[in-house]
């Protein structure tokens, strides 16, 4: 149960889109899109999607995480620093297309 007595909701159950993509050589973005204002509001207010929680989930410094809610589009964009420059030795996902995986287990 959540603090308001309702059952917890999984991000993947309410989001229309959960994806990641390359945002240049130094960043990856996570895009979360929702079908309506209610589901967007639930996600945007959830502590599970705060910069601190996402930093812990991704194992990065919270100061390197930017969470940008955009209510008009029912979307949230998260910007993360890449652990290595895109395309350099050690980069396992030059396109950034596989970085959304940790979000699939998030409970709001």
Whole-structure pTM value: 0.90
In whole numbers, what is the pLDDT of the chain averaged over residues?
93
pLDDT at 34: 98
Task: Identify the weakest region by mean pLDDT among 15-19, 23-27, 62-66, 82-86.
Answer: 82-86
Spatial CB neighbours of 55, under 8 Å, sequence gap ≥ 6: 61, 62, 64, 65
Determine the Cα–Cα distance for residues 15 and 67; give it in Å rounded to an integer. Answer: 16
Best CA proximity match to 54, nearest among 108, 4, 97, 2: 108
Determine the Cα–Cα distance for residues 18 and 103; give it in Å rounded to an integer. Answer: 8
Other CB atoms within 10 Å distance of the CB of residue 60? 16
pLDDT at 4: 58
* pLDDT tens sequence across 45-94: 999 999 999 999 999 999 999 999 999 999 999 999 998 999 999 998 99
CATH number of 11-83+94-100: 3.30.70
**Quick check: helix, strand or coil at residue 40?**
helix
Q: What is the DSSP letter of 107?
A: B
**Quick check: helix, strand or coil at residue 85?**
coil
């Amino acid at each position: 149960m959540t603090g308001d007595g309702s059952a917890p909701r999984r991000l993947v159950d309410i989001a229309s889109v959960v994806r990641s993509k390359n945002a240049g050589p130094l960043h990856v973005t996570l895009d979360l899109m929702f079908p309506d204002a209610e589901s967007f509001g639930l996600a945007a207010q959830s502590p599970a999607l705060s910069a601190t929680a996402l930093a812990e989930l991704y194992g990065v410094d919270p100061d390197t995480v930017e969470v940008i809610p955009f209510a008009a589009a029912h979307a949230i964009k998260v910007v993360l620093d890449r652990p290595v420059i895109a395309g350099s030795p050690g980069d396992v996902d030059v396109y950034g297309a596989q970085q959304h995986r940790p979000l699939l287990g998030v409970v709001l």
